Amino acid sequence: MSPEDFINAIKESALTCQKEDGIPASFTIAQAALESGWGESRLTRESNNLFGIKADPGWTGERTRIATTEYVAGVARTVDAWFRKYPNWQASILDHAKFLKGARYATAFKTGSGVTFGYAIASAGYATDPNYGTKIARVIHTHGLESLDVVASEPAIIPQSPQENVMQKLLAMWSVFKVGESVANPTLWKTGAITVTLLSPLILKLGDLFHALGWTISISDQQAGMLAGGIVAATNIVVHLVANKDMGVQ
């Protein structure tokens, strides 16, 4: 299924949840796309589970056991887990809205936009992926889903207030800071041990920060990788030259 077809397939349900439950439509669509692989994941095809919601002890409906990727201390590993099973995508979207309205994600409903909503549920521990909020934000930006958050469903959604805009900027800045911690170790730079996999997420989060600040700067995954590669190459050259100089190599 193409991204366009997927968006059209769940857009009305997402707008309904936006109107009735206060969940930004852009977030619902972006998270569904990310979790389901645009409707093509095994979990979605076999169980109509668009959001990867697990079958916890309180779940009384059907369930299915399937392998999934979890991050432990930042390292991805594959584990088996039980997930909820639905009769159709509509049921999955409605249950997702109900699931998010638990106390754990209450802060997300104070953010105002799909991007900040995504960062908030990521901070609350919806997924173990350390880049989860950024991935949701990139789907929203790439496919222009922000426009759905102010689309006319009756009553029309009020545009972000100044306080909500500040919240979006602060969340984006905090996200950059948290990722920046992983590459701020001076030893990495002095030894040339800085890597593309460390730098790329930071560059992508900077792109999200630029967007939150209203700057018309967009950074794609490929551009982030290329920029990170250039920085790593330059760092290695400098470290090599300094090391040779210190050893008296001419």
Return the active site residues.
Answer: 70, 95
Residue 142 has which token pair?
């790439």
Cβ-contact 202, 176 below 8 angstroms: yes
Residue 50 has which token pair?
């668009």
CB hemisphere CA count around 241 (13 angstroms): 6
DSSP secondary structure, 30-82, as one string: HHHHHHHTTTTSHHHHHH--SS--B--TT--S-EEEEEEEEEETTEEEEEEEE
The H or E element containing residue 83 is: strand 75-84
How far is the C-alpha of 27 from the C-alpha of 140, rounded, in Å?
7
β 75-84/63-72 pair status: antiparallel
The H or E element containing residue 13 is: helix 3-21
How far is the C-alpha of 49 from the C-alpha of 93, rounded, in Å?
9
